[in-house]
Structure 1
Amino acid sequence: MEDPSTVDLDRIDLSILRLLQSDGRLSNAELAARCNISPATCHRRTQRLFETGVISDVRARIAPDCVGLGALVMVGAVLDRSTPESFAEFEAAVQKMPAVLDCILVAGDFDYLMKIRVGDMRDFNRLHGRELITLPGVRQIRTFFAIKEVKDDAALKF
């Protein structure tokens, strides 16, 4: 797979991306009609966007409360060492934690910022005691419980 950032995208590709990002359930025929291209051309272009990694996946967005994951927690982690090995060890451990939705290496007060979904405070306390404080190389964990999600829109604007 080539580097997605090197793929040349024209106005039709960008239109396909915008439409799929807003509604990933569009059929190829609907997508083609909205882009004013033939279904065969649309299919070929969409496949290229997948094959080159410009589109990484398509998935359903689930209402967290409906599946018992109503508590959103942001966790900042500071590692005791800033080495490639300690970062790799931490990242490998986080990859195995289903409750961690996102984990981002950041600059600033923390080394990593994690977005975590759990059922409630008791669930988070269990996760904290069993997994978070045992993550390799962690010196400090700072926890922020979300009171209200003002905007949760992962769509990219381009």
Structure 2
Amino acid sequence: MQLKDLDKRDRQILNFLQEDGRLTNAELAEKVSLSPSACLRRVKQLEESGLVSGYHMMLDAKACGLTGAAFVFVTLEGQGRDILARFERAVKEINEIQDCYLLAGEYDYLLRVVYQDAADLERIHHDILTNLPGVVRVNSTLTLRAVKHTTKINM
């Protein structure tokens, strides 16, 4: 199933579940005007199609003591597959790195890093980021506040 194959109800189901993944099937069925069995059948088809990658609980970083976020541009010593693979394997093991994107352009990667305070950011920079495989330069930009953060894709 692809996005173009979705009808209005499938799109409604996906939108409602993106807003609240804890909806019961009965609540969801009522919202999209389907019987619970028909709704459950559609949800299972959407999950099996690969459009749904999972269900997750999102924690509030500040409530967890992570009051800061930084975007970090990373330059590696080269673009060889081995260098990229070693860097990416290492990044996946570091909890402070929330997101990692391979870039086209001036920098090789963009990371989103969360931290507790200035001392914690210094620790992450000195002990972690600059010691990642292949790193020759990091350039950090600190956020003042998040204006928008979403994982929702409008259907």
> Taking structure 1 as the reference length, what is the TM-score of the superposition?
0.90
Residue of structure 1 in register with 2:152 after alignment: 155
Contact 1:16 1:35 in 2 (8 A): yes
> Taking structure 2 as the reference length, what is the TM-score of the superposition?
0.92
Unaligned stretches of 5+ residues in structure 2 = none
Q: Distance in 2 between matches of 1:155 and 1:27?
A: 19
Residue of structure 1 in register with 2:57 after alignment: 60
Q: Distance in 1 between matches of 2:5 and 2:81?
A: 32
Unaligned stretches of 5+ residues in structure 1 = none
Cα-Cα RMSD: 1.7
Q: Distance in 2 between matches of 1:7 and 1:98?
A: 36
Question: Which of 12, 21, 43 in structure 2 is aligned with 1:15?
Answer: 12
* Matched residue SS, 2:42: helix
Q: Distance in 2 between matches of 1:73 and 1:5?
A: 35
- Aligned residue pairs: how many? 155
Question: Which of 91, 96, 121 in structure 2 is aligned with 1:94?
Answer: 91
Q: Distance in 1 between matches of 2:136 and 2:126?
A: 14
Q: Residues 105, 19 of structure 1: CA spacing in aligned structure 2 closer, same or farther, 3 A cutoff?
A: same
Q: Distance in 2 between matches of 1:34 and 1:157?
A: 17
The yes-or-no answer on 1:125 pairing with 2:122 is: yes
Contact 1:7 1:52 in 2 (8 A): no
Which stretch of the first structure deviates more once superposed, 51-60 or 136-145?
51-60
* Matched residue SS, 1:63: coil
* Matched residue SS, 2:46: helix
Which runs of at least 4 in structure 1 moved beyond 6 Å after TM superposition?
none
Question: Which of 92, 112, 120 in structure 2 is aligned with 1:115?
Answer: 112
Which stretch of the first structure deviates more once superposed, 109-118 or 50-59?
50-59
* Matched residue SS, 1:65: coil
The yes-or-no answer on 1:25 pairing with 2:22 is: yes
Cα-to-partner distance string for 1:47-92 (whole Å, 9 max, x where unaligned): 2222232111122222211110111111110111112221111111
Residue of structure 1 in register with 2:67 after alignment: 70
Q: Give how far 1:155 is off.
A: 1.6
